[in-house]
């Protein structure tokens, strides 16, 4: 039988103060757990901030009336506000944009259509039921004011407007990249989502310098931080950024 002493300290529950090596270990472990808790709380908070207020009223098909415009993207200027909105982007079901031929046929006409509401705190959209658009009168002058604000440079993320406005939540960031590329390839209008240091969000519809769709030209930049320079205009209360896609810069 060995007479060798075991000099390693051990914890005794009723002692007022544990041995120094144990005390030091407990202090370090407690400090690490506190730091880990703060980090986890920060991550959870950041994740919660990515969940938007956007929604898709799946299954609730409504009738809308208003003036249809085809440029800079197919939109309906509604006769009456719906969910506090007056101007709606128009898209088709699934991952497809509004048909060009329908937009051309009914441009500046008073129309009625059936569709499903999508929207967040900034913008709204109607997923139009196939074959539901019909004319209610003769073409009229453009029903919305257009204003220009000059050249601007804005940083943000390019997303497909349909998913971002409620079809997916959140409809942005790297995990959504593949879906966004499919939607943009199908004709869904691209928007630039910008966020100020104070957390305020802004949307900008992206079109080329002539006001036409640039979906294919922006696919390589989807879900990445980018800087975009162009001419900022508005259609009603919608921001529209007229850009040369070749000038988009990754950050």
Q: Which residues lie across from 10 on neighbouring strands?
A: none
Query: What is d(CA 50, CA 216) in angstroms, rounded to the nearest whole number?
Result: 26
Average pLDDT, the chain: 86
pLDDT tens-digit series, residues 145-156: 778 889 999 999
In angstroms, rounded to a whole number, what is the distance separating the alpha carbons of residues 204 and 182? Answer: 20
Q: For residue 192, is pLDDT > 50?
A: yes
User: Which of the two residues, 49 and 165, has the higher pLDDT score?
Assistant: 165
Contact 186/250 with Cβ under 8 angstroms? no
- Sequential DSSP letters for the chain: ------------TT-SS--HHHHHHHHHHHHHHHHHHHHHHHHHHHHHHT--S-EEEEEEEEEEEEEEE-SSS-EEEEEEEETTEEEEEEE-STT-BPPHHHHHHTTTEEEEEEEEEEE-SS-EEEEEPTT--EE-S---S-SS-EEEEEEEEEEEEEEEHHIIIIISTT--SGGGHHHHHHHHHTTPPEEEEEE-TT--EEEEEEEETTS---TGGGGGGBTSEEEEEEEEEEETTEEEEEE-GGG-EE-
Beta bridge partners of 112: 65, 134
CATH match for 146-250 among 2.60.60, 2.40.50, 1.10.3470, 3.30.1490: 2.40.50
Name the band, by pLDDT with cuts 50, 70 and 90, for residue 137. confident
For residues 192-218, b (16+ Cβ closer than 10 Å) or e, as one string?
bbbeeeeeeeebbbbbeeeeebbbebb
* pLDDT score for 141: 72
State residue 197's pLDDT score. 86
> In this prediction, what percent of the chain has a pLDDT beyond 90?
64
pLDDT at site 48: 45
Per-domain boundaries in the chain? 56-135, 146-250
Which single residue is written with the structure tokens 């997923």?
A: 127
Q: Assess whether the region 56-135 and the region 146-250 belong to the same CATH fold.
A: yes
Query: Hey, what CATH topology would domain 56-135 get?
Result: OB fold (Dihydrolipoamide Acetyltransferase, E2P) (2.40.50)
Instruction: Give the global pTM.
Output: 0.78
Residue 46 has pLDDT above 70, yes or no: no
pLDDT tens column, 70-113: 999 999 999 999 988 999 999 999 999 999 999 999 999 999 99
Residue in 232, 210, 237 with CA at minimum distance from that of residue 151: 232
Q: How confident is the model at residue 32 (pLDDT cuts 50, 70, 90)?
A: confident
Going 155 to 146 to 172 to 48, the CA torsion angle's sign is positive
Q: Give the number of other Cβ atoms within 10 Å of residue 105's Cβ.
A: 14
């Amino acid at each position: 039988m060995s007479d060798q002493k075991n000099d390693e300290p051990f914890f005794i529950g009723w002692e007022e103060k544990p041995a120094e090596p144990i005390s030091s270990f407990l202090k370090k472990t407690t400090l690490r757990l506190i730091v880990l808790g703060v980090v986890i709380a920060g991550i959870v908070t950041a994740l919660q901030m990515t969940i938007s207020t956007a929604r898709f009223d799946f299954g609730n098909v409504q009738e809308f009336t208003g003036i249809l415009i085809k440029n800079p993207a197919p939109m309906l200027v509604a006769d009456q506000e719906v969910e506090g909105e007056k101007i709606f982007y128009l898209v088709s079901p699934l991952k497809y944009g509004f048909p060009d031929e329908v937009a051309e046929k009914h441009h500046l006409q008073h129309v009625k259509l059936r569709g499903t509401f999508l929207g967040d705190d900034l913008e709204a959209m109607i997923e139009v039921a196939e074959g539901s658009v019909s004319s209610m009168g003769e073409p009229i002058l453009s029903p919305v004011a257009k204003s220009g604000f000059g050249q601007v440079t804005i940083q943000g993320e390019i997303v497909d407007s349909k998913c971002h406005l409620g079809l997916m939540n959140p409809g942005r960031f790297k995990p959504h990249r593949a879906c966004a590329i499919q939607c943009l390839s199908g004709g869904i209008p691209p928007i630039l989502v910008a966020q100020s240091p104070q957390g305020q969000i802004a949307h900008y519809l992206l079109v080329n310098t002539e006001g036409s769709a640039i979906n294919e030209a922006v696919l390589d930049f989807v879900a990445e931080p980018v800087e975009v320079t162009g001419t900022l205009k508005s259609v009603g209360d919608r921001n529209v950024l007229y850009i040369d896609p070749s000038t988009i810069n990754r950050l």
